[in-house]
Structure 1
Amino acid sequence: MRLKVGSNVADKKEIKAFGKWILDIGEGKLGGRNDGETMIEIPQDILLGDEGDAIASISSCIYPDLDEHLDDPGYFQDRAVLVPTNEEADSINNHLLSLIDGEEKVYYSSDSICPTDECDAFERSLYTSDILNAVKLSGVPNHILTLKVGVPVMLLRNIDQANGLCNGTRLQIRKLGEHVMEAKVITGSRSGDIVHIPRMKLIPSDRKIPFRLQRRKFPIVVCFRNDYKQEPGSIPFPSGFIFKEIGF
């Protein structure tokens, strides 16, 4: 449904045919009669040749001559790599990041247990900095964030909705500072605007951990992905979709 928005008639027919093929697989209509297990032939036009390094193969196919197109917002808007897990998303992001010329800057978060959390002194002593730094949660950047000028990123928090800075907004890094970074919006009605992103306290609501983590960090993640004309403020793709990320 997202892909059909803004597509021409020919593309819509191709999207419809691909969607039907996916549904037929899910409903067990392909591969002949079967008992729940069968062989499905993948069309050659959607396969990539694996030259020994799957990540390099897909990256070079979706992002050819990456370093030469950093000044072209449309280059990132029209490409995507779809992957099933955050780990694979990170692998592709890291590979594509390494292909961009320029000095790499690494940012580390300042992690602690939220002061309002009801933990006694003993419980707090159990959660050392190393343990807190290792925590990875959906919707929160990891402890280590590596960036370069020109890298596309996605905002993880609503900062200024009136000016288009919402969860899911995609930006491209222009300047890297210690406490504030400058970026250009590359999606939505505010595309082209220059904005500044500060460090801020992020407190995830995930209840899979026995305490409330407070992470001071830039609210962004590297995102070589396309949101398929998604407007800022709408529900974004899961973080496993990177650009893409096929997702990136």
Structure 2
Amino acid sequence: MRLQNLGSNEECAKIKKKNSDWIANLGDEKIGEIGEQNDGYVTIDIPDELLIKDCNDSIAAIVESMYPSLDNNFNNNAYFQQRAILAPTLDVVQSINEYMISVNHLEGRLYLSSDTTCQSDRNVDLLNDLHTPEFLNGIRCSGVPNHELNLKVGTPVMLLRNIDHSLGLCNDTRLIVTRLGNHVLEGQILTGSNAGHKVLIPRMSLTPFDPRLAFKFQRRQYPLIISYAMTINKSQGQSLSHVGLFLKNPVFSHGQLYVVVVSRVTNPKGLKILICDSDGNLKKSTTNVVFKEVFQNL
């Protein structure tokens, strides 16, 4: 369905057939190592036309692939509307976003959060002694913005909370920052029926629900994350014409490579994949995760 906008001539028909078959096989456990089907964790080869094969700096290479002529498009909202870099883990996403902010030479502002332990926790006085503001400021987890939010006009961001459904301000809505204020931010909605509308984003008190944390804390910050790059899970529900997949770490859950990555892109020519190991060496294969029992009752 996402490939229908390619047209109907013979060349486009071949592209659609080849890519739709590969995508379907990827999701239906039919791609695996030679002589075996995909059941669980299996290494697969990525087609050469999708790979970024030559680079010295992996982050710079994936950015150049997805955001060409970046210096001339920092104020072009349409340029960012259909582009994103995806990665499986939050730390890789943050490193890409930090790189993108560093190459944007426009003036920006740094917004700091106010972090406190939740008063509902027992022994709150003991928690205050153990969990200092500096410790709380250093916590990074999914679902809450970082303590330091470095923003510039023209930066694409994503909402982390539902604010106003009637205005299209829902969790995972993408916006472009248009004005940086002292107490409120102005942004322009990028996608959906409210695309183009300008809205105001206030600070909010957010409490992360992360099972790795043995205590609850509250962070008062703008409910935004920079979205030049985003995690694979955060890309759900979005259709993009240009997708760069950066696999410094392989995918780790069932169907993640298929459902949330490969099927996001509306044009196969817009999909580029960069795979490397921990030492930065480029690779042509990666892990696909499919568990056959998921399909047994379908």
TM-score (norm 2): 0.69
User: Match for 1:216: what amino acid?
Assistant: R
Distance in 2 separating the partners of 1:7 and 1:124: 58
Q: Which residue, out of 213, 216, 227, partners 2:217?
A: 213
Percent identity (aligned): 39
Distance in 2 separating the partners of 1:35 and 1:48: 24
Quick check: which one's strand share is greater? 2
Identify the residue that residue 228 of structure 1 maps to in structure 2.
239
Determine helix, strand or coil for the equivalent of 1:80.
Answer: strand
Distance in 1 separating the partners of 2:175 and 2:148: 19
Determine helix, strand or coil for the equivalent of 2:149.
Answer: strand
Residue 137 of structure 1 deviates from its aligned partner by 1.9
Q: Which residue, out of 130, 146, 149, partners 1:145?
A: 149
Determine helix, strand or coil for the equivalent of 2:225.
Answer: strand
User: Match for 1:22: what amino acid?
Assistant: L
Distance in 1 separating the partners of 2:42 and 2:134: 46
Distance in 2 separating the partners of 1:96 and 1:8: 34
Q: Which residue, out of 48, 54, 60, partners 1:50?
A: 54
Distance in 2 separating the partners of 1:51 and 1:76: 23
Report if aligned partners of 1:174, 1:184 keep a CA contact under 8 Å in 2: yes
Q: How many residues align?
A: 234
Distance in 2 separating the partners of 1:5 and 1:164: 26
Report if aligned partners of 1:204, 1:214 keep a CA contact under 8 Å in 2: yes
User: Match for 1:65: what amino acid?
Assistant: S
Distance in 2 separating the partners of 1:180 and 1:105: 12
Distance in 1 separating the partners of 2:27 and 2:138: 39
Residue 74 of structure 1 deviates from its aligned partner by 2.7
TM-score (norm 1): 0.81
Distance in 2 separating the partners of 1:204 and 1:41: 37
Determine helix, strand or coil for the equivalent of 1:195.
Answer: strand
Report if aligned partners of 1:31, 1:38 keep a CA contact under 8 Å in 2: no
Report if aligned partners of 1:200, 1:216 keep a CA contact under 8 Å in 2: yes
Corresponding position: 1:157 with 2:161: yes
Determine helix, strand or coil for the equivalent of 1:201.
Answer: strand
Distance in 2 separating the partners of 1:39 and 1:122: 48
How well do the aligned residues superpose, as a CA RMSD in angstroms?
3.1
Consecutive unaligned residues in structure 2, runs of 5 or more = 230-234, 241-255, 262-269, 274-298
Report if aligned partners of 1:149, 1:175 keep a CA contact under 8 Å in 2: yes
Written as runs of structure 1 = structure 2, the 5 A alignment for 1:27-176 is: 27=30, 29-32=32-35, 40-176=44-180
